[in-house]
Amino acid sequence: MIRLINSQRARDWLLQVLFVGVIVAVLVTVIVVAIGEMQRKGIASGFAFLWRSTGWDIGFSILDYSIRDPYWWALTLGLLNTIVVGYSAILAASLLGLMVAMMRMSGNPIVRGLGAVYIDVIRNVPPILQVFIWYAVFTALPRPRDAFVLGDVYFSARGVAFPSFAITSDAKLMIAGVLLVAVVAAVWLFVSKVAAARLGRRRRPIAVGVMVLGLMMAALIVALFRIPDIPFIDLPRLKGFGIVGGTQVPPEVSTIFFAMMVYGSAYIAEVVRAGFLAVPKGQFEAGKALGLSWWQIFRNIQFPLAFRYMLPALVNQYVWLIKATTLGVAVGFADLFLVVSSSINQIGQPIELMGVLIVVFWIMSHGMAAASNRLNESLRARS
């Protein structure tokens, strides 16, 4: 016992256990008191409401939804909207940010100046104001009968309509699940120590094969679950005073997508530029001395090194952008935050619903951070 008391390590562990115990005790006390007060005032608690019908619409959903569906399905659709729009905007912002970063590092002063002006203007306009600006742009488009037509894509004040596969809602859900599993498996093959130890260099072609297999299974689902009596490719078309057919994206979705893409690209451009500037010039000169082409130097020397430098800051931007989808509530974008807010107004159980919102965003944020840390460790070990 005396040895344990005199041990610094034992004292450190004891203090940590006491600290965690105090936090847990405070949380339990708060929860017990809150539940007691809610019961005393007759306020409903628990998660039984998840199986009740909502009785209200959520505006836009990737999968089928009706007012008779339960709350858990409405929350799921809100989460899907957040994930699809958020991660699509992150990908688009990364590509646009890379292009702007290349402009900032260009030897042409005009191109370099345009990149600097873009970054300065976008970064100094509040994101909520950019959401309202983009919403004004998309709602100012002409009515459907006078819509701008680009090929088979219609742009009007009611949104964007484009061709899509004529498949059932269940097929869309299965395709999303198959592609998600394929992407997760491919990423695991790239970053896992177990895969690196057992497969070695074979894990890259195996990862590519997994992605190809996922795409083939998605194509098979499209072929098997098509809606009968409708052309395989459902094209949008004018009918009456509106546009029918295809996939129609309302202005609220386009607004939050473009607002996130443009605002995020300005910050990502600076992160990318800083990453490339952090690579020593001697690395580029060494590649030239070895007779490598510009593309070989960029692909094998500059980009791998710069990516390691920019990865932590990029992940911070990605986490911020996925949380910025909540700004869409200002224009009625049916993300998880809006669905939770509407549910609170309908059933009056804020503690449970806000708890769901907090847990979901915590999982998404820490999931991206954990994946990036694992990728950084894999890159460090490989180098």
Place of tokens 């859900």: 173
What pTM does this model have? Answer: 0.81
Per-residue confidence (pLDDT) for residue 345, from 0 to 100: 86
pLDDT of 160 reads 84
Range of weakest confidence among 119-123, 152-156, 309-313, 373-377: 373-377
CB 122 within 8 A of CB 262: yes
Give residue 193's pLDDT band: very low, low, confident or very high (50, 70, 90): low
- Local structure of 53: helix, strand or coil: strand
Among 285, 322, 278, 337, which residue's Cα sits nearest to residue 303? Answer: 278
Is residue 206 over pLDDT 60? Answer: yes
Neighbours of 340 (CB within 10 A): 26
Mean of the per-residue pLDDT values of the chain: 83
Q: What is the pLDDT of residue 34?
A: 73
**Of residues 89, 58, 127, 87, the one with CA closest to residue 327:** 127
For 121-150, the pLDDT digits (tens) are 999 999 999 999 999 998 888 888 888 888
Grade residue 154 by pLDDT with cuts at 50, 70 and 90: confident
Q: What is the mean pLDDT of residues 94-103?
A: 91
Give 32-43 pLDDT, tens digit per residue.
787 777 667 766
More confident residue, 349 or 343: 343
Tokens at 67, concatenated: 């007012």
Whose structure tokens read 């959903």? Answer: 61
- Which of 135-149, 196-210, 255-269, 355-369 holds the top average pLDDT? 255-269
- Does the pLDDT value for residue 191 go beyond 70? no
Q: Is the pLDDT of residue 199 over 70?
A: no
What is the distance between the alpha carbons of residues 256 and 329, in angstroms, rounded to a whole number? 9
Query: Residues 8-26: pLDDT tens digits?
Result: 677 777 788 888 888 888 8
Position 381 scores a pLDDT of 54
Cα separation of the two ends of the chain: 47
Strand bridging mode 148-150 / 153-156: antiparallel
Dump the DSSP string for 329-352.
GGTT--SHHHHHHHHHHHH--HHH
Q: What angle do CA 349, 353, 357 make, to 5 degrees?
A: 160
Distances (CA, A) of 343 to 42, 67, 83, 353: 19, 13, 19, 8
**How far is residue 40's CA from residue 357's CA, in Å, rounded to a whole number?**
26
pLDDT of residue 194: 65
294 versus 6: the higher-pLDDT residue is 294
Query: So what's the pLDDT on residue 119?
Result: 92
Cα separation of 314 and 268, whole Å?
7
Contact 182, 207 (CB under 8 A): no
pLDDT band at 383 (very low <50, low <70, confident <90, very high): low
- The lowest-confidence range among 44-53, 314-323, 358-367 is 44-53
pLDDT tier at 170, thresholds 50, 70, 90: confident
Q: What distance in Å separates the CA atoms of residue 270 and residue 227, rounded to the nearest whole number?
A: 47
User: In the predicted model, what is the mean pLDDT of residues 314-320?
Assistant: 88
147 Cβ contact list (under 8 Å, min separation 6): 141, 154, 155, 156, 238, 243
More confident residue, 239 or 317: 317
pLDDT, tens only, 246-273: 778 889 998 999 999 999 999 999 999 8
Mean pLDDT of 90-101: 92
58 pLDDT exceeds 80?
Answer: yes
Q: What is the arithmetic mean of pLDDT over 44-64?
A: 80
Are 236 and 243 in contact by the 8 Å Cβ rule? The answer is: yes
Report d(CA 346, CA 383) in Å as an integer. 55
Mean pLDDT of 337-341: 89
